[in-house]
Chain A
Amino acid sequence: MPKITYIEASGKEHVIDAPNGQTVMEAAVKHAVPGIDADCGGACACATCHVYVDPDWLAKTGEAGSMEQSMLDFANDVETNSRLSCQIKISDALDGLVVRLPKSQH
């Protein structure tokens, strides 16, 4: 099962075994990683699952779609490596993925 590392804004790390097919958001929420609210449950409707993808992984996670990009434009502290984690689907290719969490989702 792919391992995903989530790093809170405080620096605290959470390493999660995440099943293929789930999203990076779902794996975090199901393991109660603080800092990913994901109020809408992954419908790309709330922009509260913002993460920063570790630059080494950007090629593998791909780019935000147009809907996602529009949502991200309104998130706080957006960087070029910002993504909505509900739009990143977990696969073997993402085994070892590292994402950092923003200070706040609102």
Chain B
Amino acid sequence: MSSDEIKRVIIIGAGQAGGETAQRLRQAGFEGDITLLGEEPHAPYQRPPLSKKYLAGELTMDRLLLRPANVYAEEKIALLTSLRAVWIDRAGKKVRVEGGRELPFDALVLATGSKPRKLPLVGADLAGVFTLRTAADIDAMKPHFVAGKKLVVIGAGYIGLEAAAVARQLGLDVTVVETAVRPLARVTSPEVAGFFLDEHTRQGVRFVLGGQPALIKGSDRVTAVGLTDGTEIPADIVLAGIGVNPEMTLAQQSGLTTENGVITDAQCRTSDPNIFAIGDCAARPISFFDNRLCRLESVHNAVEGAKIVAAAITGGKPPALEAPWFWSDQYDLKLQIAGLFQGYDHIVFRGVMTDRAFAAFYYQGERLIAVDAVNKPAEYLGAKMLIQTGRTLPREVIADETRPMKELVASAK
């Protein structure tokens, strides 16, 4: 379908990807109908601060909103909150919502996000057991985040460790249980993981690494987490941070191609050319990584997907693509990540961990593929720029700290 035939766009999912798509369609001059459907009661908001400043009580909901709620009406974007889409009729080009109403579309954008995995354990439904994805999740958990309470975090990924950091700062007693032998096992190298393990330990977090949770104990509220070796860890609150699954129910029901995510091309088009998929629920080829299909859970991916789809729908110029980027704030540490580290064979450092400011550069052969930078923004931005322009630096050159990062990047081929 050519862009001038598209008069009605429906976006399912009012998270950052969906919200940005609506906004960028209007910015690109799209004058047709835009309907933005969200299950949550809020206008689109930023999720990253949920496990950081929102949990710490430093940011309120109105500051999380991408844009004030009244802006949607001003821009003639029909924002339908607390409403679930239940069916996509691809042949008839309609979306059915809860209650039976059917909404017609010319182009449909799936921005349905992801759902936290639930603990597959007896007791996982007890009061006091939480997952962390929405503002409502934090609103429910936050009243229990008081000094002296015992928090057990299951899963030592970024979300779990960010929550652990906030909890320690608020004076909770924190234990992190992780089935792998180190934290952050899926997302960074053993070296960088070791740094974060030491930092959290120094801040008073206890770790049970290689620990297998067997059940959540309690009669109506959680009282402890039981491990397979018989250990019991007393708990007032349990936070499960064991990853997310892409929300693909609608895509699967309607027969779109899915694997670990709704599969799309580089234009974010699914196997149905009238349907796009973006954000956490989608997997698209990433040009900087040999067009590997990647399902990225990040702000970068959400925003870039929105830009790509707005351009595709309006026939506009596609956006300049960025190397994937991520960040995590824990205590006074700002971790900034660019690229994808999977498959690295060498790691090179600038700075030393004991200064709490260092960067780990990941190489595959001669090629720079990723950076983890802790309190080292120049190294992060420099590496990101190299990756997205297809350049690299010899490993011994990037390690030379007598030369500033900016100068090195300028010299790179």
A-side residues, CB < 8 A to B, are 22, 26, 29-30, 32, 34, 39-41, 43-47, 67, 70-71, 73-74, 106
Contacts and interface: CB of A to CB of B under 8 A. Distances in A.
Contact of A41 (B27, B49, B409): B49
Interface of A is mostly: loop
Interface residues of B, number: 30
Contacts of A29: 66-67
A44 B385 CA distance: 17
Contact of B299 (A30, A40, A71): A40
A73 B378 contact: yes
Interface in B1-59: 23, 27, 46, 48-49
Contacts of B63: 22, 26
From A40, A71, A106, residue with most partner B Cβ within 10 Å: A40
30 contacts: A22-B63, A26-B63, A29-B66, A30-B65, A30-B67, A32-B23, A34-B27, A39-B299, A39-B300, A40-B48, A40-B327, A41-B49, A41-B299, A43-B49, A43-B329, A43-B334, A44-B377, A45-B336, A46-B325, A47-B381, A67-B334, A70-B376, A70-B381, A71-B378, A73-B378, A73-B381, A73-B406, A74-B382, A74-B409, A106-B322
Nearest to B377: A70
Interface of B: 23, 27, 46, 48-49, 63, 65-68, 71, 299-300, 303, 320, 322, 325, 327, 329, 334, 336, 375-378, 381-382, 385, 406, 409
A39 B406 CA distance: 22
From B68, B325, B378, B382, residue with most partner A Cβ within 10 Å: B378
